Amino acid sequence: MQAARPAPARGASALCQLKSGARASDRWDVERSQLGEYAGPVPDAVTIWPLEGGYGLDATFQGASGYDRAAEHERLLQQSGTKYSFRQELAGGWTLRFGPLSAAEVSRALQQFVV
């Protein structure tokens, strides 16, 4: 009898796992089946920019449900100890900011936020 496979991490929790546990050599070996079908609340905008030593990534949530959707990801980030900032934007949006991230971490985050 084969042991049950754990459910794949999704959304912010997948980024947490990558930041906390994966070796650099493992980061390129992401199979589509590991990503899952549900990414968690999908952000309304994702922004990536170069930083010294990597990249920055913002996931911005807008509208009446924006805070609730961002807070769902924030809860997972707090549980994992992942470094991020949570900010309210002037236009009423809520942004989770990450960085610096490696190119592989940006790729994994995009796959999880945009699936």
Q: List, for residues 6-31, the tens digit of each pLDDT value.
A: 444 545 555 555 444 443 433 333 33
Report how far apart, in Å, the C-alpha atoms of 54 and of each of 42, 89, 101, 102, 106 are. Answer: 23, 24, 5, 5, 9
pLDDT in tens, 76-114: 888 878 788 999 999 889 999 999 999 999 998 888 777
Query: Model pTM?
Result: 0.65
CATH of domain 11-114: 3.10.28
More confident residue, 45 or 80: 45
- Residue type for position 70: A
